């Protein structure tokens, strides 16, 4: 009597397919609202065993809402499911829902861990801050480019220094000032909003013992530590600390077929933003940390740089950082400089 449900979710409607004993017993559509979907599933599949849908923009909301409604919701890897769904002759939402229901019945899928809303809120805060900083850089570059056309070269500098240079160069040039000053006002306001989000991030870092513990590592700041804790959530999600490096796409890909066997570049799977932050932290550790913060991890990375070059060494150190940070979350210990390269 077990019934298996596949959901193909879109912003407006969700296609539903229900299978039982190897046959489709019902399919239809419903507005993309988890409460309405839960009622529809209870009506047509009272003995639901699995409710499967792919990762996507609405997957976090749907997973938590359906789980709270008592549905056995399962979020699966979209790239894995897509390889199976592409085998259908006609690409429709209904056929995709049928394919997902078949995967649910066969158990041939990769389950994805869906983050809690608190973790997603942290990631949203970090993402919003990064977006504002990116916009402020674009506007400042636009101001520099526009003024350069008229022979006004803005000297190097950020913040108030940049503001002062622009105003000084515009003094006496009223026609150009009427164009540039609104951009400068927007740039100033965006930086102010970004600073407000910075303060929220720092307050969040001060309240978390796990974040403060990770910040004892040279090169790891508040943003990297907060982003790492939000991504990992519970260190018990990983059986070993070494698997975190692969989860973040910091391990090499391998291709083997017959007599061909070689390793490629890193897989770049997982969280792109966190991977970039760890690479940046590794760069800081290798180039900007002082003698006072020397550690075995830095010594190991510098030796690696001599053999493989800086970029490969930084990637290797970033992977080590991911492993060490997971171990610190699990053991609740601060960074040990003398054991930093043993992970």
Pick from 207, 235, 260: which residue ends a domain?
207
Query: 140-167: per-residue pLDDT in tens?
Result: 999 999 999 999 999 998 889 999 999 9
Characterize the bridge pairing of strands 13-20 and 3-9.
antiparallel
Asked whether 301 and 308 are in contact (CB, 8 A), the reply is: no
Q: Is 264 in the same domain as 312?
A: yes
**Is 112 within a domain?**
no
Residues 295 and 253 in one domain: yes
* Distances in whole angstroms, Cα of residue 285 to Cα of each of 7, 281, 294, 307, 323: 46, 6, 9, 18, 15
- Rounded Cα distance between 10 and 342, Å, is 46
Residue tagged 């770049």 (tokens): 268
Same domain, 330 and 292: yes
Asked if 204 and 211 count as a contact pair (C-beta separation under 8 A), the reply is yes
Question: Tell me, what CATH number does 7's domain have?
Answer: 3.30.420.40
- Asked if residue 224 is part of any domain, the answer here is yes
pLDDT tens column, 37-77 = 999 999 999 999 999 999 999 999 999 999 999 999 999 98
Q: How many domains does the chain have?
A: 3
The last residue of one of the domains, among 159, 190, 207, is 207
Shared domain check, 195 and 232: no
**Residue 317 falls within a domain, yes or no?**
yes
Closest CA to 24 of 51, 5, 48: 5
Per-residue pLDDT of the chain (343 residues; tens, 9 = 90+): 799 999 999 999 999 999 999 999 999 999 999 999 999 999 999 999 999 999 999 999 999 999 999 999 999 988 888 888 888 888 899 999 999 999 999 988 889 999 999 999 999 999 999 999 999 999 999 999 999 999 999 999 888 999 999 999 999 889 999 999 999 999 999 999 999 999 999 999 999 999 999 999 999 999 999 999 999 999 999 989 999 999 999 988 877 888 787 777 888 888 899 999 999 999 999 998 777 778 899 999 999 999 999 999 999 999 999 999 999 999 988 898 877 554 4
72 and 182 co-located in one domain: no
Round to whole Å and give the CA distance between 319 and 266: 11
Domain holding 293, by residue range, is 212-339
- 216 and 334 in one domain? yes
Question: What is the maximum alpha-carbon separation in the chain?
Answer: 83
Dist. CA 294–CA 265, nearest whole Å:
29
**82, 106, 130: which is the final residue of a domain?**
106
Together in a domain, 8 and 98: yes
Asked if residue 302 belongs to a domain, the reply is yes
Instruction: Examine residue 111 and state whether it is found in any structural domain, yes or no.
Output: no
Residue 299 lies in a domain: yes
């Amino acid at each position: 009597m077990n019934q298996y449900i596949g959901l193909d979710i879109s912003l407006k409607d969700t296609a539903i397919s229900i299978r039982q004993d190897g046959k489709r017993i019902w399919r239809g559509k419903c507005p993309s609202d988890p409460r309405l979907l839960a009622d529809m599933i209870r009506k047509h599949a009272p003995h639901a065993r699995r409710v499967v849908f792919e990762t996507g923009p609405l997957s976090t909301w749907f997973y938590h809402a359906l789980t709270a409604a008592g549905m056995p919701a399962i979020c699966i890897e979209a790239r894995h499911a897509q390889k199976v769904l592409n085998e259908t002759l006609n690409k429709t939402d209904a056929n995709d829902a049928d394919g997902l229901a078949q995967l649910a019945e066969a158990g041939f899928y990769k389950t994805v861990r869906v983050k809690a809303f608190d973790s997603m809120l942290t990631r949203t805060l970090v993402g919003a801050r990064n977006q504002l900083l990116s916009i402020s850089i674009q506007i400042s570059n636009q101001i520099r480019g526009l003024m350069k056309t008229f022979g006004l070269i803005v000297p190097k500098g950020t913040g108030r220094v940049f503001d002062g240079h622009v105003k000084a160069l515009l003094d006496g040039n009223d026609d150009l000032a009427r164009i540039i000053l609104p951009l400068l006002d927007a740039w100033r306001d965006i930086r102010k909003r970004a600073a407000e989000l910075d303060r929220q991030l720092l307050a969040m870092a001060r309240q978390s013992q796990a974040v403060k513990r990770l910040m004892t590592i040279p090169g790891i700041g508040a943003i990297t530590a907060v982003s790492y804790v939000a991504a990992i959530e519970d260190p018990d999600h990983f059986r070993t600390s070494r698997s975190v490096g692969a989860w973040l796409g910091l391990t090499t890909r391998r291709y083997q077929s017959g007599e061909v066997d070689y390793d490629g570049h890193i897989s770049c799977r997982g969280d792109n933003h966190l991977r970039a932050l760890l690479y940046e932290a590794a760069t800081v550790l290798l180039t900007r940390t002082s003698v006072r913060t020397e550690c075995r991890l830095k010594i190991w990375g510098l030796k690696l740089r001599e053999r493989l070059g800086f970029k490969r060494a930084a990637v290797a150190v970033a992977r080590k950082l991911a492993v060490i940070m997971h171990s610190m979350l699990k053991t609740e210990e601060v960074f040990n400089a003398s054991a930093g390269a043993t992970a």
